[in-house]
Amino acid sequence: MEPDEISTMDTLPVSNVSDAATSEPALFRECPSFAIYTAAGCCFLIALIGVPFNAVTIMALGKCKLKAKPASLFIMNMCAADLLLSGVHAPLTGLALLRRTWTLGSVARRLLPLSRFVLLATSMLSMMAISISRVILITQPAISNRLFSMRNVILMVVTIWFLAIMMLMPTCFGIYGQFGRDNVTGSYTIVADSAGRSPRAIYYIFTFLTSFATLTICYTRLFYEVRDSSKRSNRSSAPRGGSWATRPPVARAAQPPSVDTSPADQEIESTEGASTSSSSGASAFRNLVTKLNTMQLSKKDRKLIIMIAAILCSVWICYLPMTLVKIFEKDVPVILFLIGYILVYLASCVNPLVYMVLSHEYRDAYRGLFRSVPPRAPRW
């Protein structure tokens, strides 16, 4: 090699040197070995949990009568994105951590971060679509059937994937940022372009704040609508003009409306298994939680509060750390990047777990998948 070529190689950025070098630089080289191996084990564990649970959720919902409730496609779409994230990206990251390097070709180095960000955006957009559709079902039942027909829901699912891909097109073509190797962590992600511009922090902030605000507003509205509906049902079912026994036998009392048949209460049971990818209900619903002992809440109201808290806390725990790391990336230790990556992958296996724990209808769907008795279709 000529001296001029040697000096040119020395002045190249680290990311360009790694493309030309025969071996990749070490991943998270500043992290201790036990942290790297622990993170690799977490990646494999996430794949072991997320793949079967997301697959079972998709199959269970597919076995239900989806034509009657087409909005279930939103949940299946979210689980499909989580399935790919936990089944492809999590184990690949685990293998790379064990080897302390990425062994990827030039095409894979760009496709890997592109697909990861697309899947994350698809999962978050699907969660927002689920929450919005639930609120519309309760507040505007007259238009919900037309708005969420099978044809329209399929178009919405396609639009979700289209938006997730289009958000990254400027980065993919190097217009605003680019895909490459991060010099700090050694991983392949969105990095600054030749002009020093990187949309990575903006991407995380926009995705987190938009999803958290949408889920908080929608589920807060959902709670109060359900709460008001329960109060109206209780008032309408209360006896008037004395007890039932003292009324003349000729005056046939109108049968009180069943709580389970009201649109709001039908929404609760399905909402118990709503997508869990949302964040910190601790702050948004702190007043509600502290008043649980003083308010006269029904059993379904309490279940709804637990579901809302689980959704918001899950997004808060899984996505907020990485968002903060990307905002203050110049001032945080490298190990926090590693923790943030693991928590983001963790979100891909949290959703089906919450479905099984909080929704008896989804539990019935899971049981029906392995039995001869067909499962009940979730109401939403």
* Residue 229 neighbours by CB distance under 10 Å: 18
Domain spans of the chain, in order of start: 26-234+297-370
- What is the per-residue pLDDT for 26? 77
The 10s digit of each residue's pLDDT in 299-343 is 766 777 787 888 888 889 999 999 899 888 888 899 999 999 999
**Assigned fold of 26-234+297-370:** Rhopdopsin 7-helix transmembrane proteins (1.20.1070)
Residue 262: predicted pLDDT: 47
Q: Say if CB 201 and CB 182 are below 8 A apart.
A: no
Q: How many CB atoms lie within 10 A of CB 198?
A: 20
Residue 24 to residue 45: CA distance in whole angstroms: 26
Name the burial class of residue 145, with classes exposed (0-12), middle (13-18) and buried (19+) by CB atoms within 10 angstroms of its CB.
Answer: exposed
What pLDDT shows up at residue 233?
A: 66
Sign of CA dihedral 340, 342, 343, 345: positive
Considering only CA atoms, which of 267, 269, 278 is closest in space to residue 351? 278
Assess contact for 177 and 199: CB atoms under 8 A: yes
Residues of the chain with pLDDT under 70: 1-25, 64-71, 230, 232-298, 300-301, 355-357, 359, 361-362, 372-380
CA 216 – CA 30 distance, rounded (Å) = 38
Query: Tokens for 154?
Result: 């399929």
Cα angle 55, 56, 60; round to 5? 120
> Residue 281: what pLDDT?
47
Please state the φ and ψ torsions of residue 127, each to the nearest 5 degrees. Answer: -65, -40
3-state SS of the chain is: CCHHHHHHHHHCCHHHHHHHCCCCCCCCCCCCHHHHHHHHHHHHHHHHHHHHHHHHHHHHHHHCCCCCCCCHHHHHHHHHHHHHHHHHHHHHHHHHHHHCCCCCCHHHHHHHHHHHHHHHHHHHHHHHHHHHHHHHHHHCHHHHHHHCCHHHHHHHHHHHHHHHHHCCHHHHCCCCCEEEECCCCCCEEEECCCCCCCCHHHHHHHHHHHHHHHHHHHHHHHHHHHHHHHHHHHHHHCCCCCCCCCCCCCCCCCCCCCHHHCHHHHHHHHHCCCCCCCCCHHHHCHHHHHCCCCCCCCHHHHHHHHHHHHHHHHHHHHHHHHHHHHHCCCCCCHHHHHHHHHHHHHHHHHHHHHHHHHCHHHHHHHHHHCCCCCCCCCCC
What are the residues facing 181 on neighbouring strands?
A: 188
The C-alpha atoms of residue 100 and residue 110 are separated, in whole angstroms, by 19
Structure tokens at 69: 């409730």
Q: Report yes or no: 15 and 181 within 8 Å, Cβ to Cβ.
A: yes
Given a contact cutoff of 8 angstroms between Cβ atoms, the answer to whether 360 and 272 are in contact is yes
